[in-house]
Structure formats: structure tokens, C-alpha cells
Amino acid sequence: MQLFKFKPITNGVRHIIKIQKNLLSKSNRIFKSNIQGKKKISGHSLSTGHITVRHRGNGCKKKFHFLHANNFHYYGLVLSILYDPNRSSFISLNFNLLTNSFFKMLHTHSVNPGSLIVCTDTSLNFRLGCRYPLKNIPIGSLVNNVNINNKTKATYIKSAGTFGQILQMTKTHGIIKLPSGKLKKVSLLAYGTIGVLSNGLHYKTKLGKAGVSRLKGIRPTVRGIAMNPVDHPHGGRTNGGCHPVTPWGLPTRGKPTVKNKV
């Protein structure tokens, strides 16, 4: 995938930087039954109508693709690479040779259509896109789509172009370095996919104008100092006479809120 810019014929396309998606599959007829409904961001409660998530609302409708995040054994064949509007990374359409069924999962970089991917308890060979328990993956390998244990769905390292590294293993747990630099202790029975997630140039894209952000369901953000005292602690053009805080009074600078212990 490569980046491209539009000709600056208008102000709306002058600063837009996108990723070429001509290598992605445009047909979903094979697996149309697994694309259910349309997702639209509202940010309001369905029962009371109160705002539950700020700066969300409107936007275009998005088709929701259901991915197989559980750790089931498969011996699959990659058929095509698809675009998912709800995720930053690409997804792949695969065919399970054991059950003769289709399934979707997060796509790993450099895994082309026609490649074989495996998910088993025993390590067959260490190819990109194969999924094994951490106890069967060598120390120092790059992994993605990792879960805490073998009973939960994948939780960590699911964004575009991200990867984690296995640093250490004990008899029961392993330590993985997350993309944020934090060290996370997970079970050796937890599964991980070998390789780096696709769409690694996603961080270099630019929306170009505010209208594209509105189409994604993101509403404008107003500074607290520009509000009234009844709406924000910083309101009234005096910052409220206190240190920077959130609209609910929690400190935003200086006070640590995350424990970086393993």
C-alpha cells in the first residue's frame, strides 16, 4: 500500500493524504451473511437520551463485520484482503479447510492471498499469520492480536501497524512489551499471531478538512476556558482558579493515573 495526495484544485482536497486501496478486494458476495446491520455512532443513551460519550454523533452509517476473535483451531487459506470501516487495520477473508467454512480475522502484514495460516496448540512452522500459544513461540518474536488467557477474546495489539515483543517467559506466564512500551504479564496459554498488523502507514494519513471528521461521527471539541462556569471548572475566562482538570473535576496534569507495574 502506498500514500497518495490529491491535486490541490480545491481547499478541501489540498491537504488530504490517503492510502491506495486498489489491492484490496471490493467484493463481499462470498461472505455477505456475516455483515449484519449498520452501525451509526450516536453517543447518547437509548433509554434516557443523555450524552454518554462526548464529541460523538451523526456521521455515515457503517457496515459491521464480525470477526472470529476466539481461539479455535483452523487450517485456513487466505482468500482476499478487505477494508473494514470500523477498524484501522485491514481484515482478511479465509477459508477453513477443516470445517469447509469461511471466517474473518485481522490481517497480518506480508500475508498475501493464497497463503496458508494455522492455529493449533502445537507449533508446525513459524510463518507470518499463524497463531499459536505463547509457550510455543520463541522469545523475541513479534506478535499481535494477543489475549490474556486461552478463554478470553483477543484484547491487546489490534491497531494498524502495531506489534508486541515477547521479552521473557516463566513456567506459567510470559512478559510482552506492548506498543505503548508497557510490560504486560499474560498466561503462556494465551494465543498470539506472529507478525505485524497490516496498514502500517495509517498514522501518516491526513483527513484534510473538518468535514471528513464529521463524516466519521466526531463532533467538535470546545475548550473549557471558552465555556461558562456552569459548564466547566475552567469556565468564566479565569480557569476556575485551580489546576487543569476535566469537566468532572479530575486532575489532568502531574498526577499519575496508570500503574506501569507488571
Inside any domain, residue 155: yes
pTM above 0.75, yes or no: yes
Domain carrying residue 110: 24-202
Burial class (CB in 10 A: 0-12, 13-18, 19+), 163: buried
Inside any domain, residue 87: yes
Q: HSE (CB half, 13 Å, CA atoms) of 256? A: 4
Q: What is the pLDDT of residue 32?
A: 63
Number of compact structural domains in the chain? 1
Q: What is the pLDDT of residue 154?
A: 87
Which residues have CB under 8 Å from 165's CB, separation 6+?
Answer: 140, 141, 142, 143, 176, 177
Q: What is the pLDDT of residue 165?
A: 95
Inside any domain, residue 225: no
Mean pLDDT by 10 residues, the chain (262 residues): 90 91 77 66 85 89 80 87 91 90 90 91 83 91 89 88 94 92 91 93 93 92 90 79 85 78 61
Q: What is the pLDDT of residue 67?
A: 85
DSSP-based helix, strand, coil % in the chain, nearest 5: 10, 30, 60
Give residue 223's region: left, alpha or beta (phi > 0; psi -120 to 50).
beta
Q: What is the pLDDT of residue 239?
A: 61
Q: What is the pLDDT of residue 141?
A: 93
Q: What is the DSSP letter of 3?
A: E
Amino acid at 240: G
Inside any domain, residue 4: no
Per residue in 153-190, pLDDT (tens digit) is: 888 999 999 999 999 999 889 999 999 998 999 999 99
Burial class (CB in 10 A: 0-12, 13-18, 19+), 199: buried
Inside any domain, residue 85: yes
Inside any domain, residue 165: yes
Inside any domain, residue 52: yes
Inside any domain, residue 256: no
- CATH code: domain of residue 179: 2.30.30.30
Q: What is the DSSP letter of 2?
A: -
